[in-house]
Amino acid sequence: MEEEPNDKLLNKKTKRENQKQKKQQKNIENQNKLLAESKKIEEISEGKVTIKLCNKDKTFSAFYNPAQELNRDLTVLSIATFMSFTKYRKEKEKKTLNEYKFNIIEPLSATGLRCIRYYAELPKEKLNSIYSNDMDPKAVECININIEKNNVDNNIFKVFTSDAAQLMYQNPKIFDVIDLDPYGTAIPFIDSCIHCSKNGALLCITFTDMPVLCGNYPETTLYKYGSIPYKSSFCHEMAIRIALYSISSAASKYKKVIKPLFSYNAEFYIRLFLIIKDSPEDCKMNPFKYGYMYHCRDCQNRSIYPMARKQDNKFKNGKPNSFVKFNNLIYPSEKCECCGSNMCMSGPFWIDNIFDEDWIKELQNNLENNYKYLKFKERIQNICKGILNELPLNEQIFNLDYSQFSRDVNLSSFKMTIFRGALENLGYKIEQSYYDPNLFKTDAPVNTIYDILKQYKKENYKDDYYKNVDEKSYKYKILSKEIKIQTTFVESTTKNNKIKYPMNPPNWGPKGRAKEIKEIKNNDEK
């Protein structure tokens, strides 16, 4: 017997009601679990401080992510290093640096942990003021509890309950250090950060919206950051360069330029450390620091095209013309020279340096001499070693993927040390990335890398050279090309700083937003 139409509608309604009740029940259970957990976690110790997460009546648990401890350790170390770093300071500033006192702001404070760590772990004689802010009054209540707990001097430490951007706009050109660690993108706060920064201020900024920056949602990346991404294995470096381009573009509106010191990728976020300086003249040099990437849709062939090039000043009517010559952004061929697939364009990106060698060495010295107690000391050392290894290849923008190269020729990856040796025998340099053993940088052309892998395949898999390769595929086109360069396959003997690749820490995700917690009971229990 078939159901009548009215019966069908009733059944659908009851199903929907049942589903709603189940969802409500789950929400009740989750809220009660959160409340129980917050009551259990009374205190957390990190660095030299101990904090509480909950307010007095324990109806609110402020946002705290244990996976971000590396971020906080490195920020403490970076601010301490900045307090004695003289490279981008004027001669007058260098002379008075020992007596100078710094103003620091963290506009999104949550528990106040970062700010309290700055008070406890930075040299007291170098601190003038620390601004801690959160727009949620219950989070500010947590901050005040933690201030009392850690005996913080109220003359230095100032707490605000305000909108983050509004607080920074209300304090123009005051702060020497701005530490911004938002939930998701930092783009809505960039202008206000620039507005409140002194000339030569340090900006420490986190981006956790990696799906957007790494190319999962290119239309979102374009309207937020003004750049078209490319989803690829080197997307984390691309994320850093997109963020730097966006910050630089925002700073130039106020006749300011950025000087990147240190940028790194870890787990689910990127963290940037850069100096913001007043310099209308240097703003004119920005087109040389921006560029586009033309890349193959299938293989790893790519080219970086700067937005502009320098030209000699030519006088016209007694006035000098611009020394900037903007490039024609037209790729020589629509087809890839490696595999014949279509080429496409991404960008613009920041194509200038993202690391400062002097800063990284100063960071290492400070870590060894003054901050040995940091929990993530070894991880920080490892990141610094890896970046210093890469610096000789600093002009090679974006990593290459060894696994992807192997897949492009239908070959099982052989030992990285043998691959390194094959490149070095041809006179090329190669360095692995500090965060992924499969990613590397080299000054060898992409065609040369494919020739090395094809040669290895011919020598070791003579009868299976074209096995499981479709004749119409881009892989077949790569394999069928003549091998123009020959090398010898011997393990590399180059001794570099060994990089250890850490596992993701437990609970390493970005976590949800902080929420007010209320004990909820079922209707039956009321």
CA atoms within 13 A on the CB side of 426: 22
DSSP at 219: H
What does the pLDDT read at residue 501?
59
Three-class DSSP category at 106? strand
Q: How far is CA 191 from CA 168, 194, 204, in A?
A: 9, 5, 14
Burial of 373 (0-12, 13-18, 19+ CB in 10 A): exposed
What does the pLDDT read at residue 17?
75
- Give percent of the chain above pLDDT 70: 86
pLDDT at 216 over 70: yes
Tell me the pLDDT band of 35, cut-offs 50, 70 and 90: low
What would the pLDDT profile of 288-336 be if each residue is shown by its tens digit? 999 999 999 999 999 999 999 887 665 555 555 567 888 887 777 789 9
What does the pLDDT read at residue 437?
87
Q: Are strands 102-106 and 343-350 parallel, antiparallel or unpaired?
A: unpaired
Q: Are 389 and 497 in contact (CB under 8 A)?
A: yes
What does the pLDDT read at residue 84?
95
Separation CA 444–CA 453 (nearest Å): 13
CA atoms within 13 A on the CB side of 316: 6
What does the pLDDT read at residue 458?
93
What does the pLDDT read at residue 525?
38
Helices marked H in 41-150? 69-82, 91-96, 113-121, 137-149
Separation CA 499–CA 231 (nearest Å): 26
pLDDT at 506 over 80: no
Residue 125's identity, in one-letter code, is E
Tell me the pLDDT band of 22, cut-offs 50, 70 and 90: confident
CB atoms within 10 A of CB 207: 24
Tell me the pLDDT band of 521, cut-offs 50, 70 and 90: very low
Q: Are 342 and 361 in contact (CB under 8 A)?
A: no
Q: Are 216 and 92 in contact (CB under 8 A)?
A: no
Separation CA 130–CA 120 (nearest Å): 11
Across 28-32, 85-89, 278-282, least confident range: 28-32
Q: Are 430 and 373 in contact (CB under 8 A)?
A: no
What would the pLDDT profile of 106-143 be if each residue is shown by its tens digit? 999 989 999 999 999 999 999 999 999 999 999 999 99
Tell me the pLDDT band of 524, cut-offs 50, 70 and 90: very low
Tell me the pLDDT band of 523, cut-offs 50, 70 and 90: very low
What would the pLDDT profile of 145-174 be if each residue is shown by its tens digit? 999 999 999 999 999 999 999 999 999 999
CA angle 179, 181, 185 (to 5 degrees): 125
What does the pLDDT read at residue 522?
43
Q: What is the mean pLDDT of residues 420-444?
A: 93
Three-class DSSP category at 198? strand
Main-chain dihedrals φ then ψ at residue 29, nearest 5 degrees: -60, -45
What does the pLDDT read at residue 517?
46
Tell me the pLDDT band of 94, cut-offs 50, 70 and 90: very high
Q: How many Å is the Cα radius of gyration of the chain?
A: 27
What would the pLDDT profile of 327-375 be if each residue is shown by its tens digit? 887 777 789 999 999 999 999 999 999 999 999 999 999 999 999 999 9
DSSP 414-473: --HHHHHHHHHHTT--EEE-SS-TTEEEESS-HHHHHHHHHHHHHHH-STTTTTT--TTS
More confident residue, 185 or 4: 185
pLDDT at 403 over 80: yes
- Nearest residue to 195 via CA among 269, 251, 257: 251
Three-class DSSP category at 51? strand
What does the pLDDT read at residue 333?
78
What does the pLDDT read at residue 170?
97
Q: What is the mean pLDDT of residues 202-223?
A: 96
What does the pLDDT read at residue 325?
84
Q: What is the mean pLDDT of residues 487-497?
A: 81
Q: What's the pTM value of the predicted model, to 2 decimals? A: 0.86
pLDDT at 266 over 90: no
Instruction: Tell me the average pLDDT of the chain.
Output: 88
CB atoms within 10 A of CB 193: 25
What would the pLDDT profile of 59-78 be if each residue is shown by its tens digit? 777 788 888 899 999 999 99
What does the pLDDT read at residue 494?
77
More confident residue, 457 or 496: 457
- Nearest residue to 289 via CA among 245, 332, 250, 254: 245
pLDDT at 236 over 50: yes
What does the pLDDT read at residue 33?
63
Three-class DSSP category at 212? helix
Looking at mean pLDDT, say which of 12-26, 33-47, 238-252, 457-471 comes out highest: 238-252
Separation CA 324–CA 436 (nearest Å): 37
What does the pLDDT read at residue 445?
95
Separation CA 255–CA 341 (nearest Å): 42
Tell me the pLDDT band of 195, cut-offs 50, 70 and 90: very high
pLDDT at 57 over 80: no
Q: What is the mean pLDDT of residues 182-192?
A: 95
What does the pLDDT read at residue 414?
86
Burial of 180 (0-12, 13-18, 19+ CB in 10 A): buried
Question: Both tokens of residue 258?
Answer: 């950025």
